[in-house]
């Protein structure tokens, strides 16, 4: 398939805000793909060259893309740069200059999807002296071989800003429509994706051999999308939901999934990145465990041996680095607290009840292993026992607890009430914390004018709609240094128009590509006609909003991106719970 053909479909997607229409367009596009093309197309739609766990990323800087456009079109770099500065869109800049290039290449050929993907993949492998010039030349060759419209999307993809508003849920829906003519196969396709974290590979199976989708099994060294916990406000609500349950300690650290087969160990982050090379100490400790094959889920914390205490989350995240690894490992040794087992010595435990998985985990983890320990846990037969264990965890400076249904399987890639978290930050009657995505920002006024930053417009993610919905404006909690940092950081992802995957009744001074997440504290959740969070579900025609929000921290991209933000479903559930609690208090 030609990139120029694909570009026509991408333009149709860009020009619609209807998710149903996007799904139909994608399904139509998939039908035109051959089995050896669809994986590459899906990676491009995801804004990737390969799945994240391969560690292969493109992300060519705007300066180099401008150089490539100039080389391909014959126009001076300065002129291309000036046009880009006015348009603010590297894709439309490429389209403009390729459409009016000064001379046609004698070696002109039509650019295929396979050739484009292979060439871009080769660009990621180029390094060493003179590598930037070679990369620019190879990208320029691709621009010369495609249509102006193809150049638009090629440039955006190379820069990591495809800007279609298409997330994984829309791609999954489109694959189901391709396969069954409806969304009826979405659940089984998504399950396969959750078990391997490679949507391109799953798409290829859909085309080549769809019978394998329903029988899909997890594989060592293909990271599993981690299980996530729902939240409830107190021990009584948890016990009412689960009854007698396990109560696991909640550590404020770095999520890790550790895979081992023989002498090979791989470690994957919460965001499915391969992070093995950053943690040689964890690899050594994993090789000391009894089983030769396993997949365990856990939380890593940096430990201060002199003071016999664990470092904060922010300090622990300093271990996630490309350079100075040995020095940081000595300075911040990690303890991994394993809390779940998914695979062991040829046996898949993912669909087994938690009580079975926990028993096998206890058999695997040697009590003498210094670096990999088993999480502290208890079994609670009452709400009081849940509360008592929560209080004990808080007294030990842990983040809180995770209550777990003894009979539930491991639920990949989703929040279910099989796991329920209770954290110190929202254990009281007021002041909840939320992870919200930055959708735009405002110019500074008064004393903030010199920072060109006055606050952010934030939203939560609605997976059903594959949209970000606004929930609050945040203007407090920022230090002067943070205001400078946010202004600089957000200006790099600024876009001229509201992104396709943002639903907002409000207009900030600057829109941004949804990328960064901040944790905010708020007194409670209210209804508001100004915000779109949950407005489609609310019969009153109002959205949900956070009252008196304050910025607590910026979540590192290594840990969370916009799609990992709090969901609309969580917000609605928390609002309903708080209303229910208020009624109970009044009735007493």
Q: The domain that contains 389 carries what CATH number? A: 3.30.470.30
* Residue 30 within a domain: no
Q: What is the pLDDT of residue 354?
A: 98
Mark whether 241 and 351 lie in a shared domain: yes
Cβ neighbours, 10 Å, residue 314: 11
- Which of the four pLDDT bands, split at 50, 70 and 90, describes residue 78? very high
- Which of the four pLDDT bands, split at 50, 70 and 90, describes residue 58? confident
Mark whether 153 and 263 lie in a shared domain: no
Q: The domain that contains 537 carries what CATH number? A: 2.40.50.140
* Residue 138 within a domain: yes
Q: What is the pLDDT of residue 557?
A: 77
Tally the domains of the chain. 3
* Residue 236 within a domain: yes
- Tens-place pLDDT, residues 415-471: 889 999 998 754 444 356 899 999 999 998 887 888 889 999 999 999 999 999 999
CA 40 from chain center: how many Å?
A: 20
Q: The domain that contains 77 carries what CATH number? A: 1.10.3260.10
* Residue 406 within a domain: yes
Among 382, 403, 426, where does a domain finish? Answer: 426
CA distance linking residue 162 with residue 46, whole number of Å = 9
Q: What is the pLDDT of residue 426?
A: 43
Mean pLDDT computed over 250-270 = 93
Burial class of 211 by CB neighbour count within 10 A (0 to 12, 13 to 18, 19+): exposed
Among 379, 409, 426, where does a domain finish? Answer: 426
Q: Is the pLDDT of residue 306 over 70?
A: no
Mark whether 257 and 309 lie in a shared domain: yes
- Residue 525 in 3-state DSSP? strand
Cβ neighbours, 10 Å, residue 127: 9
Q: Which residue has the tokens 């019978």?
A: 211
- Tens-place pLDDT, residues 98-132: 998 876 554 446 899 999 999 999 999 998 888 99
As a whole-number percent, the residues of the chain with pLDDT over 70 amount to 92
Q: What is the pLDDT of residue 428?
A: 42
Mark whether 298 and 407 lie in a shared domain: yes
- Tens-place pLDDT, residues 199-225: 999 999 999 999 999 999 999 999 999
DSSP state of 363: H
pTM (2 decimals)? 0.85
CA atoms within 13 A on the CB side of 466: 19
Mark whether 504 and 533 lie in a shared domain: yes
- Tens-place pLDDT, residues 220-235: 999 999 999 988 888 9
250 counts as catalytic? yes
Mean pLDDT computed over 45-70 = 92
Q: What is the pLDDT of residue 561?
A: 87
Mark whether 65 and 144 lie in a shared domain: yes
Is 80 or 333 the better-scoring residue by pLDDT? 80
Q: What is the pLDDT of residue 475?
A: 94
The CA R_g of the chain, rounded to the nearest whole Å, is 25
Catalytic residue among 250, 421, 473, 560: 250
Cβ neighbours, 10 Å, residue 421: 19
Mean pLDDT computed over 10-27 = 94
Mean pLDDT computed over 66-89 = 94
Mark whether 295 and 414 lie in a shared domain: yes
Q: Are the beta carbons of 519 and 552 closer than 8 angstroms? A: yes
* Residue 39 within a domain: no
- Tens-place pLDDT, residues 351-372: 999 999 999 999 999 877 778 9
Which of 412, 83, 427 lies closest to 222 in space, CA to CA? 412
Mark whether 414 and 459 lie in a shared domain: no
Which domain range does residue 54 map to? 48-159
CA distance linking residue 232 with residue 247, whole number of Å = 14
Mark whether 287 and 422 lie in a shared domain: yes
* Residue 370 within a domain: yes
In the predicted model, what is the mean pLDDT of the chain?
90
CA distance linking residue 422 with residue 233, whole number of Å = 7
* Residue 38 within a domain: no
Q: What is the pLDDT of residue 305?
A: 62
Strands 372-374 and 334-344 come out as: parallel
Mark whether 343 and 413 lie in a shared domain: yes
- Which of the four pLDDT bands, split at 50, 70 and 90, describes residue 308? low
* Residue 261 within a domain: yes
Mark whether 419 and 455 lie in a shared domain: no
Mean pLDDT computed over 515-537 = 92
Is 528 or 446 the better-scoring residue by pLDDT? 528
Mark whether 459 and 373 lie in a shared domain: no
Among 105, 127, 159, where does a domain finish? Answer: 159
CA distance linking residue 484 with residue 150, whole number of Å = 37
Which of 225, 228, 167, 176 lies closest to 196 in space, CA to CA? 225
């Amino acid at each position: 398939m030609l990139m120029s053909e694909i570009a026509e479909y991408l333009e149709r997607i860009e020009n619609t805000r209807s998710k149903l229409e996007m799904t139909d367009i994608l399904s139509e596009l998939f039908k035109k793909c051959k089995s050896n093309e669809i994986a590459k197309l899906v990676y491009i739609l995801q804004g990737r060259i390969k799945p994240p766990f391969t560690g292969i990323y493109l992300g060519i800087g705007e300066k180099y893309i401008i150089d490539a456009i100039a080389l391909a079109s014959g126009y001076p770099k300065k002129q291309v740069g000036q046009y880009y500065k006015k348009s603010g869109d590297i894709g439309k800049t490429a389209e403009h200059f390729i459409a009016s290039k000064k001379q046609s290449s004698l070696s002109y050929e039509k650019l295929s999807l396979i050739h484009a993907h292979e060439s871009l993949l080769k660009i990621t492998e180029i390094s060493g002296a003179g590598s930037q010039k070679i990369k620019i030349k190879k990208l320029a060759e691709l621009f010369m071989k495609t249509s102006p419209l193809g150049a638009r999307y090629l440039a955006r993809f190379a820069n990591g800003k495809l800007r279609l508003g298409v997330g994984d849920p829309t791609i999954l829906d489109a694959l189901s429509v391709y396969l069954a003519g409806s969304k009826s196969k979405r659940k089984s396709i998504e399950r396969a994706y959750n078990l391997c974290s490679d949507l391109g590979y799953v798409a290829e199976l859909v085309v080549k051999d769809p019978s394998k989708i329903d029988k899909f099994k997890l594989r060592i060294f293909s990271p599993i999308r981690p299980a996530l916990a729902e939240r409830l406000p107190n021990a009584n609500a948890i016990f009412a939901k689960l009854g007698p349950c396990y109560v696991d300690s909640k550590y404020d650290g770095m999520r890790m999934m550790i895979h081992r087969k023989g002498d090979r160990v791989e470690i994957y982050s919460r965001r499915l990145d391969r992070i093995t090379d950053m943690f040689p100490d964890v690899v050594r400790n994993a090789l000391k465990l009894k089983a030769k094959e396993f997949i365990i889920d856990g939380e890593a914390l940096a430990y201060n041996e002199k003071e016999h205490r664990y470092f904060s989350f922010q300090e622990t995240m300093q271990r996630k680095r490309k350079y100075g690894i040995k020095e940081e490992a000595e300075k911040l040794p990690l303890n991994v607290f394993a809390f779940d087992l998914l695979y062991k010595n040829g046996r898949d435990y993912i669909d087994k009840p938690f009580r079975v998985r926990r028993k096998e985990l206890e058999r695997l983890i040697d009590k003498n292993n210094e670096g990999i320990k088993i999480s502290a846990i208890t079994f609670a037969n009452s709400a009081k026992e849940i509360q008592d264990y929560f209080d004990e965890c808080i007294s030990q400076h842990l983040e809180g607890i995770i209550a777990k249904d003894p009979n539930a399987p491991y639920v990949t890639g989703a929040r279910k009430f099989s796991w329920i978290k209770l954290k110190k930050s929202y254990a009281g009657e007021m002041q909840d914390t939320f992870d919200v995505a930055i959708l735009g920002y405002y110019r500074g006024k008064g004393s903030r004018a010199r920072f060109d930053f006055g606050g952010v417009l934030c939203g939560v993610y609605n997976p059903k709609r594959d949209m970000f919905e606004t929930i609050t404006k945040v203007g407090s909690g920022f230090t002067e240094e943070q205001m400078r940092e946010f202004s600089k950081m957000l200006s790099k992802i600024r876009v001229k128009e509201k992104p396709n995957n943002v639903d907002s009744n409000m207009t900030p001074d600057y829109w941004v590509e949804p990328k960064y997440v901040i944790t905010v504290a708020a007194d409670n959740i209210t209804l508001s006609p100004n915000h779109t969070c949950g407005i489609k579900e609310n019969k009153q025609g109002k959205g949900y909003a956070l009252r008196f929000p304050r910025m607590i921290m910026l979540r590192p991209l290594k840990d969370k991106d916009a799609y990992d933000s709090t969901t609309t479903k969580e917000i609605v559930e928390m609002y309903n719970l708080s209303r229910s609690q208020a009624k109970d208090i009044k009735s007493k």
